[in-house]
Chain A
Amino acid sequence: MGQLPRPRGPISEGILAALSGGAPPPAGDPDPFGEDLHLSLYVCYELHYQGFDGVDPEYEWDPGLLALRRDLERVFLTALRDGVEGGTDVEAAVDAAMIDSPGGISHFLEDKGELWHLREYVVHRSAYHHKEADPHAWVIPRLTGQAKAALVAVEFDEYGGGRYARMHAKLFGDLMRALGLDDGYLARLDDVPAPMLAVVNMMSLFGLHRSLRGALVGHFASAEITTSPGAARMTRALDRLGVAETVFFTEHVEADAVHEQVLRRDVVGDLLRREPALAGDIVFGFQATDLLEGRFGAHVLGAWDQGRTSLRETPDGR
């Protein structure tokens, strides 16, 4: 369970007040990629995961908060749909994800990253990896047949195959501690800016809406296809920086090489056979992932190129 974050604008301020008895604020007309909207969505979604210290768990189903969440989701979802090419060619989307484009964060870290860059990157990703695989678990009851069986097999692997010591979220915590970072659940949430929160909010959005199950599967396949080469570069970055705790990344090189195959063949392939009408949503999941990961990469590398932090400036700094 995490601590409530600090607000980032009027909507998130209103939501934090609503979690202690106030009325939820109106959504208004927020920036679909802005800090206020994404912290607000992140907090609303977190009520469905571990929740927050001191917050009544019943707020998960508070009609006012759910209505506000829906309004914010519509703003975000509209911007995602407007920001991607669209189409129904799943094979082309898979092929595009297979190409390992240069110029990403893992390339930077492998080539010239310093320890503070690595630590920042890990803090960003903690917004997801503390709950790694959880957003994808929402889709399980929405699938049937081989697609369901195969997705559950991948999830089982994500959770360490029944062994907590090998659960990916646990391996990530081990990495955070090795880097001297607080590995408490969402302990660094205040430092994580909107470009990363948007990536996690996309997963929660796709996971919590049955109507977006195709997009969730497309997102999951995209993530598993693209992470293996990146994880290999991260392993080399850690080696170069003398960080011995590489298991999180070496595990992802091997695991995601398998998950990619299972997701492409048994999850995406089977889902398309059962529900061909979902092709457009599957493609959307691939493209939205690419869009948001691209925005996140541009944000981080843009800051680093100028020698400044990519995290939010907070009193405790780096």
Chain B
Amino acid sequence: MAGDPTRITMVTGGPILVEGPVEITLDDGRVVRSDRFVVALCACKRSRTYPICDTSHRPKHRRGES
């Protein structure tokens, strides 16, 4: 079953990009499917649509602001 390797891109401070379609099994047994060409998986655990990224990882302020 050797094919092209699954391409995954880790975004620093952002999501993990996986080429779709994907099927994700969560700890509680829930299965999430997405057939988008690229799927952004949440790596910060802040997403309200976890395990799918909703951009909640973004900074709330401009650099240098408190």
Q: How many residues of A contact B (CB 8 A)?
A: 23
Task: Please determine whether B53 and A95 come into contact, CB atoms closer than 8 angstroms.
Answer: no
Q: How far is the CA of A294 from the CA of B47 in the complex (A)?
A: 27
Contacting A at CB under 8 A, from B5-30, are: 9, 11, 14-15, 17
Contact of A258 among B36, B48, B63 (CB under 8 A): B36
Binary CB contact string for chain B from 34 to 57 against chain A (1 if under 8 A, 0 otherwise): 111111100000001100111100
Is the CB of B59 closer than 8 A to any CB of chain A?
A: yes
Q: How far is the CA of A258 from the CA of B42 in the complex (A)?
A: 11
B53 → A minimal CB distance (Å): 4
Query: Which of A99, A232, A258, A260 is packed against the most chain B CB atoms within 10 Å?
Result: A258
Instruction: Give the dominant DSSP class at B's interface.
Output: loop
Task: Please determine whether B49 and A254 come into contact, CB atoms closer than 8 angstroms.
Answer: yes
Contacts of B52 in A (CB 8 A): 254, 257
Contacting B at CB under 8 A, from A199-247, are: 228-229, 232
Task: Please determine whether B37 and A261 come into contact, CB atoms closer than 8 angstroms.
Answer: no
Task: Please determine whether B36 and A255 come into contact, CB atoms closer than 8 angstroms.
Answer: yes
Contacts of B40 in A (CB 8 A): 254, 257-258, 261
Task: Please determine whether B54 and A156 come into contact, CB atoms closer than 8 angstroms.
Answer: no
Q: How far is the CA of A96 from the CA of B55 in the complex (A)?
A: 15
A254 → B minimal CB distance (Å): 5
Is the CB of A100 closer than 8 A to any CB of chain B?
A: yes
B21 → A minimal CB distance (Å): 10
Contact of A254 among B37, B54, B58, B61 (CB under 8 A): B54
Task: Please determine whether B55 and A161 come into contact, CB atoms closer than 8 angstroms.
Answer: no
Query: Which of B17, B55, B62 is packed against the most chain A CB atoms within 10 Å?
Result: B55
Contact of B53 among A99, A250, A257 (CB under 8 A): A257
Contact of A161 among B35, B39, B59 (CB under 8 A): B35
Contact of A232 among B34, B48, B59 (CB under 8 A): B48
B19 → A minimal CB distance (Å): 10
Contact of B37 among A95, A161, A253 (CB under 8 A): A161
**Residue positions of B touching A, CB distance < 8 A:** 9, 11, 14-15, 17, 34-40, 48-49, 52-55, 58-63
